Amino acid sequence: MSKNLLSSRQPILDKIVFFCAVVRSGSFREASTQQGLSPAAGSRWVKELEEALSVELIKRSTRQLVATQAGQLLYDRFSPLLPDINSLCEEVQNLAEEQQGEIRISSTPLFARQYLTKIVAEYMQKHPKVNFRIFIEAGEFDPLTIDFAFRASASYEGERDIDSLLVRKRLLRETLYLCASPEYIKQYGEPVNPEQLKQHRCLYAKTLLSGNRWCFEHQGESEIVTIQDTLECDNSEMLLDLTLEHAGVAYLPHSLVHSALESGELCQIMANYQCASFDVDMFYRPRSPMPERCSGFKQYLVERVAALNV
């Protein structure tokens, strides 16, 4: 007769959840980060799970890990249950009189510095039983492990929204400016149209401008130019610093460059061309019901961003 694993003092369900994260991500380190464990503890959990089940679940090598037949069976059967398990736990938590639990956030550095830090600090004061895990990053994220993601992107008039299974809510929209330092312009000259940008050192964020293709509008006509692949960095504040150090021409949002433009440290370029807009969007997966802690935080954040942006 098989032993009753659920009566064991070992957290067998937690270990299966972690095992599924390893298989899904293909990495012990990434799964450990997602689940809030050290890589050493995560590796030990999988070994203990294999011992409890008396079967090898993962074949490890220096370059990759692959689920065994038993491991793949466990993953295929258990991973579809995770959303239902999480939803059930969240429904139970919603019965509590006050908000509690963890909110996981992925944010770009600029939005985190300008808005998120203050808003999260305020919310923690109001709801001391709500915990936060914040990842400062750009690019793709896993919506199954993140409650809210904040991403910046450039958009143009008439551009169609990309279809997505996630809910997308725009929080901010501001103008992008093409700018460079007076010293850079003195040394390399000032471009007066998009075509001339091909001859300049251009600094860009791939996650913001979809690579090295910059779009402008002039007299009702759109012009797209492929710039030189000079420097790519997904941190807008570092792009600003590089521009101030005369490294090249950058495409940056108003909130980041307005003081440098007013002081003369930077100059606006091609002012007669309409640039793209800088948008900050909040992404989250549709959940019914949404956990109270997430629902409350979402409403609070939207209101505070609007108030802080006045």
Task: Please report, for the domain that includes residue 167, its CATH number.
Answer: 3.40.190.10
The predicted model gives 33-44 an average pLDDT of: 83
* 251 touches 176 (CB < 8 A): yes
Q: What is the mean pLDDT of the chain?
A: 85
Note whether residue 1 is domain-resident.
no
Return the higher-pLDDT residue of 192 and 291.
192
- Bond from prior residue into 289 cis (ω within 30 degrees of 0): yes
> Where does residue 26 fall: left (phi above 0), alpha (psi -120 to 50 degrees), or beta otherwise?
left
Decide the pairing of beta strands 148-155 and 65-67: unpaired
Q: What is the CA radius of gyration of the chain?
A: 24
pLDDT at 82 over 50: yes
**Per-residue tokens: 141:** 């994220």
69 band by pLDDT with thresholds 50, 70 and 90 = very high
pLDDT at 7 over 60: no
Note whether residue 87 is domain-resident.
no
**Same-domain pairing of 163 and 206:** no
Note whether residue 190 is domain-resident.
yes
What single string gives the DSSP state of each residue in 149-193? EEEEEEE-TTPPPPP-SSEEEEEEEEEEEEEE-HHHHHHH----S
| Portion of the chain with pLDDT greater than 90, in percent | 38
| DSSP helix/strand/coil, 194 | helix
Note whether residue 96 is domain-resident.
no
Measured in residues, the chain has a length of 310
| Stated pTM of the model | 0.64
Number of domains in the chain: 3
**Same-domain pairing of 109 and 178:** no
Residue 256's contacts (CB-CB under 8 Å, 6 or more residues apart) are 110, 236, 237, 240
- Bond from prior residue into 128 cis (ω within 30 degrees of 0): no
**Same-domain pairing of 181 and 272:** yes
**Per-residue tokens: 132:** 């936060």
* 111 touches 150 (CB < 8 A): yes
**Same-domain pairing of 147 and 181:** no
The per-residue pLDDT for 282 is 95
Q: Which domain holds residue 208?
A: 173-278
Residue 67: in which H helix or E strand, if any? Answer: strand 65-67
pLDDT at 8 over 60: no
User: What is the per-residue pLDDT across 211-230, written as a single tens digit (0 to 9) for each?
Assistant: 677 888 888 788 888 887 67
Return the higher-pLDDT residue of 39 and 114.
114
Return the higher-pLDDT residue of 181 and 5.
181
Task: Please report, for the domain that includes residue 228, its CATH number.
Answer: 3.40.190.290
pLDDT at 131 over 90: yes
Note whether residue 187 is domain-resident.
yes
210 band by pLDDT with thresholds 50, 70 and 90 = low
The predicted model gives 273-287 an average pLDDT of: 87
Return the higher-pLDDT residue of 163 and 37.
37
* 30 touches 20 (CB < 8 A): no
Task: Please report, for the domain that includes residue 67, its CATH number.
Answer: 1.10.10.10
1 band by pLDDT with thresholds 50, 70 and 90 = very low
**Per-residue tokens: 42:** 């995560």
The predicted model gives 7-15 an average pLDDT of: 71
